[in-house]
Chain A
Amino acid sequence: MAKVLMKGNEALAESCLRAGCRFFSGYPITPQTEILEYLCWRMDEVGGDCVQTESELAGVNMLLGAAAGGMRALTTTAGPGFSLKQEGISYLCGSDLPAVIVDVQRIGDALGDIFMGQGDYWQLTRGGGHGDYRTIVLAPESVQESVDLAYGAFDLAEKYRHPVLIATDATIGQMIEPVELPPMTEHDVDTYDWALKPREEGEPQRAIWNRYWDWEDGGRKYPAYCLEKYGKMEAEEQRWECVQTEDAEIVMVAYGTSARVAKSAIAIARKEGIKLGLLRPITLWPFPQKAFDELEAGGKVKAILDVERNILGQMKDDIVLATGNRIPVEFYGEYWDNMNEFKIVEYVKEMLGRY
């Protein structure tokens, strides 16, 4: 299929439709608004429903209803709106409902600003809602990868009966790149026997509620069920990309747009004879522990550099956990300015003096 030029947000929206998503509910917020805008007209063409809700909270709760009915459902937001979605994400997890939620990250706490940022890592990976849950978090680095990950996200959500989060950012959402779109598919709302539908007389009742009520023992087995489910995600769903890590003395860890800039930094560094590599988590949760194990087994790495567009180096926590403090980890961050490959290389040179 021929490539087309598409904006990250619109390409992601189109990919969700092609994966069989026929329900969207959400609220506009920069830098995410193009998804809502696009689906407002495009959803009509494919016979689905797109609702601009009165708030983000209504958006995620309407999504919960559509998911309970067996639909492939999507809601999208950014920064402040993602905070408002948290209650609904907890409810989706508690009810074992598959759905896809996209956070097009922007800068700042509170209202922040409309510009590029990667400040939601903790909220994405720890879960900002109440209770005891995890969610798979997919982090694309390009328009094409936004399409590819979104296309598979609904299958992944249904495989586990669990919401899947996609973490893009203002740069990936706003930028335009050539992209190849996957084929259009339809999803049957009666695919799964747990989905709600009008009941014939004599048919057993179906309920979407706190999942532990489904066990006749009053939910005593629910913790083991959860541990098995999350354990399976951790075992089977870790995804990552390694770039020139085989001989690297300094390995950057970066996701999304920061990973793209990190790749540019590798090209500059290698020309100067600096052995620089990149480990790019594609799943932020489950964090790619296996990749870090391989990296450590290789024995070449002197230190790791966490590269993120935020102030506190949020992902550093996970890198330290993954390496058990056996490899030193430093953080390089930008906040107001775009990530800059030349500055990263300067930092790496300073770093090499320390290890």
Chain B
Amino acid sequence: MIEIICSGIGGQGVLVAGMVLADIAMEDGKNVSWYPSYGFEMRGGAANCEVKIGDEDLQSPYCYEPDILLTMSESAIDSFEERLKPGGVLLVNSSLVNPDRKYRDDIKVIKVPATDIANKLDNHRGTNIIMLGALAGASDLYDVDHVRDGMNHYFEKKGKNNPKNVAAFDAGAEAAAQQI
């Protein structure tokens, strides 16, 4: 079973990042649950989703020992770093996090300046896709090409695949790969 938490601020697209992973799992024939949590705000409040993926029957939809934690804000790290499984992967959007921040020493921390990369690519809403690429590049639970295909398939099914997504995804994957 794989547990993933995607967390950030409402409007950054963390729920969509989790949905892409859930969709890939379903298309692979796995059991999956995606559970969101968010505040009252349309934008600016805390938002996260917990994704569980497995070959076996999944029971509790809540993730208490995630293998991967995709964060897009400093507050998301504050909330969830403690839960990460020892040896797990913490993805950090370093554009928005204090560079002197200290992390647990029993986890793998991957810092991706996703907001800066998004600005450079002129794709301001693509930060979540950059982080998704970083997740695929950083975790040995995922294959980069498989996640890229799955992402394209997910957006095509929805009828709107932004051609800028692939560039954003690859930039994230590359940034993560350099740190492994």
Contact = CB atoms under 8 A, between A and B. Distances in A.
Verify that A and B bind, or say they do not: yes
Interface of A: 3, 5, 114-115, 171, 174-178, 257, 260-261, 263-264, 267, 338-342
Given A5-B22, A175-B61, A338-B62, 9 more contacts: A114-B40, A171-B61, A177-B33, A178-B26, A260-B60, A261-B62, A263-B60, A264-B59, A342-B64
Contacts of A176: 19, 22, 33-35
B81 interface: no
Contacts of A3: 26
Contacts of B23: 5
Contact of B32 (A114, A115, A177, A263): A177
Interface in B118-177: none
Contacts of B35: 171, 174-176
A67 B134 CA distance: 53
Contact of A261 (B19, B34, B60): B60
B35 to A, nearest CB: 4
Interface residues of B, number: 17
B31 interface: yes
Contacts of A338: 62
B31 A261 contact: no
State the main secondary structure of chain B at its contact with A.
mixed
B11 interface: no
10 contacts: A175-B36, A176-B33, A177-B34, A257-B61, A261-B59, A261-B60, A263-B60, A264-B59, A341-B59, A342-B64
B61 A260 contact: yes
B4 to A, nearest CB: 14
Interface string B29-67: 001111111001000000000000000000111101000
Contacts of A177: 32-34
Interface of B: 19, 22-23, 26, 31-37, 40, 59-62, 64
A5 to B, nearest CB: 5
A264 B19 contact: no
Contacts of A339: 60, 62
A175 B34 CA distance: 5
Contact of A178 (B19, B31, B59): B31
A260 B61 CA distance: 8
Residue of B19, B22, B40, B61 with most chain A CB atoms under a 10 A cut-off: B61
B118 to A, nearest CB: 26
A341 B60 CA distance: 8
Nearest to A258: B60
Contacts of B59: 260-261, 263-264, 267, 341
A340 B31 contact: no
